[in-house]
Amino acid sequence: MEASNLRNQGAGTVQTLVSNAKYPQVVMPECQVPKSLKGQRALVTGASSGIGKAVATALGQAGADVVVNYIGGEAAAEEVAAAISEAGVRALAIQADVSQESQVKAMFAGMLKEFGTIDILVNNAGLQKDAPLEDMTLAQWNTVIGVNLTGQFLCAREAVREFKRRGVVKEISVSAGKIICMSSVHETIPWTGHVNYAASKGGVMLMMKSIAQEVAPYRIRVNSICPGAIRTPINTNAWSTPEAYEVLMTLIPYKRIGEPDDIGRVAVFLASDQSDYINGASIFVDGGMTLYPGFATGG
């Protein structure tokens, strides 16, 4: 299969970690993105930075036209779109707050007007508003549930409506559409000080599986990616100093932080016909964070 020549972030580089002298060096993978999404049209929410940016970029490298949704930071979103279009595909930045029904509807109308239809939705937009339970405000709770959970529902509903209207076009894909929900290891790992976030991701898990069950007969696939700790702005305090990085590594058996490209590659796979028989699955991309690392030395 034809593949993009663009290098992954950090490919071939070596990460060294003070406390890991006894383990092999960490070498970052050098992978090519297969052109497996040629002719498909994708919408990635929250795509102006972090995981969303890497996913939107990878989908573009794989041959998809991409809508880069953003809420703030128009310039950053336009930059992502411009970089994606260098791969020879169409890319368009559209602003919308995914927690607002009217803005979601307007975003889909804009995409359908420009691209004609949608084949791939990546429900990525998400945020954290952390606080101990007794200090957490209702606004913090509602904002996180609104964006992380309700936003995914609103976008999935619009996408499914269009997938069902259009049906399968077998020259494009053997399925009528694909939805990828960005969940988290915290759809299963409880998280002190983040009850709104963990509740939203636990909700994403059963929302995703219930939608998958409902729409599978229409040839629509719905899955989740559950990232662990990925080097993005949402968790800078967990990796930006050597001390913080050492502590983080106690939670990651594979002994390296995830990079946004680790998620981008999995998104391309889940959006392509290569994964046609995967439906309703939570795919953990976490270096083993969900393996109860504390039990490596205890229990």
Supply the residues annotated as catalytic.
197
Q: What is the spatial distance between Cα 161 and Cα 255, in angstroms, rounded to a whole number?
A: 42
Q: Which of 136, 234, 244, 278 binds ligand BGC (CB under 6 A)?
A: 234
DSSP string, 22-38: TSPPEE----PPB-TTT
Q: Which one of 98-106, 117-125, 159-167, 184-192 is the stretch in contact with ligand BGC (CB under 6 A)? A: 184-192
**Pure H helices in 116-194:** 138-145, 151-166
Nearer to ligand BGC, 216 or 234 (CB): 234
Q: What is the spatial distance between Cα 268 and Cα 290, in angstroms, rounded to a whole number?
A: 23
What is residue 277's three-state secondary structure? coil
From residue 163, give the alpha-carbon distance in Å to each of 156, 173, 185, 192: 10, 12, 29, 39
Nearer to ligand BGC, 172 or 238 (CB): 238
Angle between helix 50-61 and helix 74-85 axes, rounded to 10 deg: 20
Q: Which of residues 12-31 bind ligand BGC (CB under 6 A)?
A: none
Size of the site for ligand BGC (CB under 6 A): 9
290 near ligand BGC (CB under 6 A): no
Tell me how far, at minimum, the Cβ of 198 lies from ligand BGC, in Å. 9
**Would you give the binding string for ligand BGC spanning residues 102-131, x where CB under 6 A is met?**
--------------------------x---
Contacts to ligand BGC by CB under 6 A:
128, 184-186, 228-229, 234-235, 238
